Amino acid sequence: MPRTNVLGGVKVVAKTLSVCQDACIDNMKCDGFDWNDVAAAGESCWLSGPWSGQWRIDIAPDITHYNLTCRKLWISLDCT
């Protein structure tokens, strides 16, 4: 969801969007993450979960929020 973010995210040092997504998938309490394309190195990835606060829409022009809709466990789970 472009231009959105969740308050109270936990920063994860991730150099790519894919690494940020993997960090969320690997954290069983993570339900989404924010990715900032223009942030300084190590400041782009923020995981959200039960520790997070309010979801903000149209307030974060350079941030995209991604909801985790499926957590693949092993290889046998089909998320489609």
pLDDT confidence of 31, banded at 50, 70, 90? very high
Mean pLDDT of 65-80: 67
- The full set of domain ranges for the chain reads 4-67
Q: Smallest Cα–Cα separation from 32: which of 44, 16, 45?
A: 45
- Render pLDDT for 37-70 as a digit per residue (tens, 0 to 9): 999 988 999 999 999 988 887 788 899 999 998 7
Task: Note whether 45 and 11 are within 8 A (CB).
Answer: yes
